[in-house]
Amino acid sequence: MKTLLILTTLLSVAVTDIGAGFAQAAERYGNRPPVIVSPDLTAPWLMQLGAGPRAAPRTAPPTEQGRVDERRVLRQRAVGDQPRVVYRERSGIFAPRQQVIYQRPAVQRAAPLVRSAGMVAPQRPVRPIDPQFLPQTVAYETRERPGTIVIDTNSRFLYLVTGKGEARRYGVGVGKPGFEWAGAHKVTRKAEWPTWRPPSEMIAREAAKGHYLPASMEGGPANPLGARAMYLGSTLYRIHGTNAPWTIGYAVSSGCIRMRNEDVTDLYERVDVGTRVIVQ
């Protein structure tokens, strides 16, 4: 009987302790209102977190209406190319809302002080060609045989003698001061879209000015020799096209006779190797 009383007492105490333990656990771990942390206090370390690896998105527990309490939005723009992370306060929990990559503005590089003069097309000035330098048939009295080319460097005209007191006239660009010349030669070679190989004297002369010419340049629209070339005797002079047609009618070359590409192509089809050329 005494033993039964002791067991009943111990069982009653154990049930009481267990009930008290559940009560304390419910009180300690039960649902409580969310804790709202002031953004002013959390902002510094949140900013540091934003520059690190991106955290996985977290969602706040919904309210009774199933909506998230959105109070304010904090934005951080990272320096340079670091991502900018936008945080939103959701019932005391800060989670990434979206990630926007901030792109640094393009850096405009300064143009080099020295450029290869032969590899770039010259800048076109506002200077239309004078109509008198366009191809036309004119009266021309000469003792030269038909088919002869006569170049008047003073007036900047090239004449292709056709006979019967007429000639086909083209405008040309001629040698600049110090590069004038005169004489009679024959066309020894013709070339379409010729390769330009500036002589060593020209390379050295231009290098002294800070203009570095290529050893050679394949034919093309940017090539200074243009679409066609007719080589004169054994000299370095040629009648050729140009990539700067606005220079026609001026003394601008290093001695060659330059023409518009369409004009030198027309002349090229009208003359043969062996044609007499007179420069005066």
Of the candidates 88, 90, 169, 240, the residue annotated as catalytic is 240
Of the candidates 227, 256, 257, 277, the residue annotated as catalytic is 256
| CA–CA gap between residue 276 and residue 280 (Å, rounded) | 13
163-186 burial, b at 16+ Cβ within 10 Å, e below that, comes to: eeeebbbbbbbbbeeeeeeeeebe
Q: How many CB atoms lie within 10 A of CB 197?
A: 15
Does the annotation count 237 as an active-site position?
A: no
Q: Dihedral of the CA atoms 109, 113, 118, 124 (nearest 10)? A: 70
Does the annotation count 31 as an active-site position?
A: no
Closest CA to 275 of 194, 189, 193: 189
Enumerate the active-site residues: 240, 256
